[in-house]
Copies of this chain bind each other. A is one copy, B any other.
């Protein structure tokens, strides 16, 4: 009477149950080597029956591919990180690859700790994400023996980097407003030292060659509010549309316009940037805005790291992925 413990089944158990050798079992399960079709099916069936699943540690030890990647982020709050990570994970899980999430809190010591742990685990690659665009990676990632992909962060010149296409997004917003017949479009946005801010402002200016007006400020509702007050108190021609650099700014803008009894979108149409649902859905009226397609960004980063880890050639440099327009009531579009 054989005692069957509750330990995991190994390929040895499969081989024994199927009456073949371990190597035949392995070959059959992985469709490698030369195996009789009948034997192969039988082995697979038995493996299924006894609930065999290969030990990823043993496999990784041998093949030098752990089928895991690390995600290194400095973003605690997670407004960007989690959707991106979800996108990465979503596309990788189908390839049997799992994701380690490491929050560095902008702490170099912690970043080093996480990085070492990832390397010890033989991860197949690392995806680095930063919230602040102008922030450099906290540790030296460029000399690593494994591929690195940057998302929302600048890597060295020959690295693989993904960003949303800020200019295209801005054009999307402005052209939407123009298509609705608006002609005096104002741009209220964040601090000029952000690259994304400059890119969006440039695209905006190119779309509105006559009378472009950009107001740089902060990433806050407060600033949106203040900017609107500043514009609408004086005399002179008023804008009939406002393109905001973020949904938070847009929220301040909308609140200020409501305070002044200026109707949205009839008198002034408003478009935001981010499609941060918790903000964009709750403004009154709900906010038309630009979605940066964070999940898709994650998908692409995941596919890139997957390809790189297999040794494929991936185009280096910055890839900018298209944004999309989400129309709600604040622009009066449809």
**Chain A residues in contact with chain B, CB under 8 A?**
6, 8, 53-58, 60-61, 66, 68, 71, 76-79, 81-83, 85-86, 89-90, 93, 96, 98-103, 105, 110, 113-114, 116-122, 145, 220-222, 248, 251, 255, 277-279, 282
Contact = CB atoms under 8 A, between A and B. Distances in A.
B86 A105 contact: yes
Nearest to A279: B278
A77 B277 contact: yes
B77 A82 contact: yes
Given A90-B103, A248-B282, A76 B68 contact: no
A93 to B, nearest CB: 6
B110 A102 contact: no
Contact of A98 (B78, B93, B117): B117
29 contacts: A6-B145, A53-B116, A55-B61, A55-B122, A56-B120, A57-B60, A57-B61, A57-B121, A68-B100, A76-B82, A76-B83, A77-B82, A77-B278, A78-B81, A86-B103, A86-B105, A90-B105, A93-B102, A93-B114, A98-B102, A98-B114, A98-B117, A98-B118, A100-B101, A101-B101, A248-B282, A255-B255, A278-B278, A278-B279
Nearest to A81: B82
Q: Which of A58, A71, A82 has the largest count of B CB atoms less than 10 A from its CB?
A: A82
Nearest to A6: B145
Nearest to A82: B78
Given A90-B103, A98-B102, A114-B93, A120 B54 contact: yes
Q: Which of A113, A119, A282 has the largest count of B CB atoms less than 10 A from its CB?
A: A282
Contacts of A78: 78-79, 81-83
Given A54-B120, A222-B282, A278-B279, 14 more contacts: A6-B145, A53-B120, A55-B122, A56-B117, A57-B58, A68-B121, A76-B86, A77-B83, A77-B277, A78-B79, A86-B105, A99-B101, A251-B282, A278-B278
Nearest 7 A-B pairs (CB), nearest first?
Answer: A78-B82, A101-B101, A56-B120, A57-B61, A86-B103, A56-B121, A78-B78
Nearest to A120: B56
Contacts of A56: 117, 120-122
Contacts of A61: 55, 57-58, 61
A55 B99 CA distance: 18
A56 B220 CA distance: 44
A45 to B, nearest CB: 18
Contacts of A100: 68, 98-101
B101 A89 contact: yes
Contacts of A220: 282
Nearest to A7: B145
Q: Which of A71, A93, A118 has the largest count of B CB atoms less than 10 A from its CB?
A: A93
A169 B313 CA distance: 54
B101 A282 contact: no
Contacts of A122: 55-57
Contacts of A83: 76-78
Nearest to A259: B258
Nearest to A102: B89
